[in-house]
Amino acid sequence: MRRAALQNPAIRAVWVEALFASPAQPSDHPTDTDIAAAVRVTLRRLGRQGVLGVVATEFGDHPDAAVIRMTWCRRCLADITAARNTAHDTLHDTTADRAVDGPVSPHVERCPR
């Protein structure tokens, strides 16, 4: 996953939606590599329109669960982007003390780091 690509909100949105449509689960504690693989496989398998169809169907059929899953997906991609920014900044800055936010909801698991 390229750091610069995930800085682009449109690209990050596609990745969030593809992660949502993927079989990845918070209980699996996916790594950054697992998430990237799940996104790529899902986009190849379903395409952009297929991913959007899955997202729409889930929000229509199970809105409460879909909100929790989408929040987790957004959090994962935000965490990956932040971790990559921190790693990049650490190479160029000697002050690497950074706070890590907690979960936004008791129902949303953090992506592991």
Over the stretch 20-60, which tens digit does the pLDDT of each residue have? 999 999 999 999 999 999 999 999 999 999 999 999 999 99
What pLDDT is stored for residue 80 in this prediction?
Answer: 85
pLDDT in tens, 51-66: 999 999 999 999 999 9
CA-wise closest residue to 109 among 23, 29, 2:
29
Instruction: Give residue limits of the domains in the chain.
Output: 3-92
Residues in the chain: 113
Element (H, E) at 65: helix 63-92
Q: How confident is the model at residue 91, as a pLDDT?
A: 43
The predicted pLDDT at position 89 comes to 45
- The Cα 60–Cα 2 span in angstroms is 32
User: Dihedral, CA atoms, 55, 21, 108, 27, nearest 10 degrees?
Assistant: 150
Token pair 């706070």 in the structure block, residue = 99
Residue 24's nearest CA partner among 34, 15, 33, 12 is 34
Q: What is the C-alpha separation between 35 and 5, in angstroms, rounded? A: 15
